[in-house]
Every structure is written in structure tokens, then in C-alpha cells.
Amino acid sequence: MRYYHTLEEAKNEISRDLKELAVVYQSNSVQDKDVSKDPDYLTHELINYSYSISSKTIMNDTWQWGLKNLDGNYLKEELQERLTTGANPGNAYKNDEEYWSQFLHDSGQFSYSYPERLEGNVEAITRHLIKNPESRQLWVPIWWNHEDHVNRDEGHRVPCSLGYHFMMRNYKLHMHYVMRSCDFYKHWAKDVILAIAYGDAIIQALKNSVKEPVELGSFSHTIFSLHGFAKDMKGIF
């Protein structure tokens, strides 16, 4: 596992690893679209890649980096929906509607949404932490076995994220984010920023229920297929 102090450092080093250490092959499909003959989708892949970011200001640093370098409106709306609504499709996707609307079903919904999968979990994790601060059972599943095996077999989109795991030790909340797949240049930064913000929501919910202030101790991330496509890597190196 590699260790970083900031999101910017992680971004730069992972990009270097994708260039220098990756397995290179031609993807057959991306988001259920046939790209087997498209050279833009020549794929650079890091297999079973893990890293950790740890600093006292990780939450504020990553959020501010996101507001400066990404679509701040999307981040704010998506986080709000993940924490409060259980929506599918919600409204955050409209910040990049041209891209996301192609995945809407005839029902007007996506095959899944993060707000839908995460609904109620901040409250559930908080309740359990108050009762059992040293618990090792704090898993938030985003991949739902029955639904996603069916979606996959029917050719629909399935979550790239498998889930979040939390442990609190000495009033530090440690978070581990597990993904099966991540498009580094399209989705990685947003996925990380929103995951860390989700962990911070748990910390905020604990404020009046524990003896001492809780802070985010570390954010670790394991991705079975961390990849970038040739079309997104042009001009970077």
C-alpha cells in the first residue's frame, strides 16, 4: 500500500503509476458499450491497487480541492442526495446530463444510484458506534448481491463501488473504501471526495454522543481494477 498526505499527491503519483507500471490491453466494453475496436479505449490498468491518505486536515483539504478543480455544484448536490434522499435518479446527475442521461431506463431511473444504496446508513453506523465504539462490523454495502447479479447478467450498469468500512480507535475514525473498478481520469477524484465527505457525515453525527471529539484518522482505498484510457492520457506525459 502506498501512503500519501494529500489528494493532489495521490493524484500525481497514481497517474505516474498508470503510465509506468500498468498492464496495457484493449477493453472490449465500457459502461456496457462495445469499444473493442476503438483505440481510444486502449487501457492502462493497475490491478489490486491500494493506497492511504492520512492527515489531520484530510476532510477540508479534499473538499476544497474538489470545489476548486471539479464541478462544485455536482459535489454539493450529490453529497446532499447521498446523505438525505435515497433518490434515483435525483437531480445531481443533471450537472452532466448529456453523459448520464444515456443510462436512464424507460422507467426514468438508473439501474442503481448511490443515494439509493446508502440511504439510512449514516444513522445505522452512528447508532452502532455509540453502543460499541470498537466494533469491527461497520460495513456499508453499495454492491447488493441479488440486484447486481441480475443487473449484470441483463447487461445493465452495476456499481463500481463495493462498499465502505469504518473502524474507530482512540476517537479516530478510519475509513476503507473498496471498489471493483475505477476509471481514474473520469471518476476517481469525485469518488474519493464524496467517500471522505460521507465519513465526515458520520463524524458530525457522533459529535454530541461521545466523550471526546472524533476526527478522520485515515482514508484507505483498494481498487481491483484502477485504469485509464488512452483518450484521457493524451498530453499528460
Q: 27-81, pLDDT tens digit by residue?
A: 998 877 789 999 999 999 999 999 999 988 899 999 999 999 999 999 999 999 9
Which three three-digit cell numbers place residue 19?
503510465
Q: Give the integer Cα–Cα distance in Å for 60 and 8.
A: 13
pLDDT digit string (tens) for 30-44? 877 789 999 999 999
Whether 67 is covered by a domain: the verdict is yes
pLDDT digit string (tens) for 172-184? 999 999 999 999 9
Whether 90 is covered by a domain: the verdict is yes
Which three three-digit cell numbers place residue 118?
446508502
228 vs 19, 184, 215, 231, 234, CA distance in Å? 9, 6, 33, 9, 11
Whether 10 is covered by a domain: the verdict is no
State the total domains in the chain. 1
Q: Give the integer Cα–Cα distance in Å for 40 and 104.
A: 24
Whether 94 is covered by a domain: the verdict is yes
pLDDT digit string (tens) for 146-205? 999 999 999 899 999 999 999 999 999 999 999 999 999 999 999 999 999 999 999 999
Q: Quick one: pLDDT at residue 234?
A: 85
Structural domain for 75, as ranges:
49-223
- Kindly report the CATH number assigned to the domain that includes residue 85: 3.30.572.10
Whether 30 is covered by a domain: the verdict is no
Whether 143 is covered by a domain: the verdict is yes
Whether 139 is covered by a domain: the verdict is yes
Q: Tell me how far the alpha carbon of residue 112 is from its chain's centroid.
A: 14
Whether 21 is covered by a domain: the verdict is no
Residue 7 burial (10 A CB sphere; 0-12, 13-18, 19+): buried
- Whether the per-residue pLDDT at 2 is higher than 80: the answer is yes
Please report how the helices 58-69 and 7-20 are oriented relative to each other, as an axis angle in degrees rounded to 10.
70
R_g of the chain computed on alpha carbons: 18
The model carries a pTM of 0.95
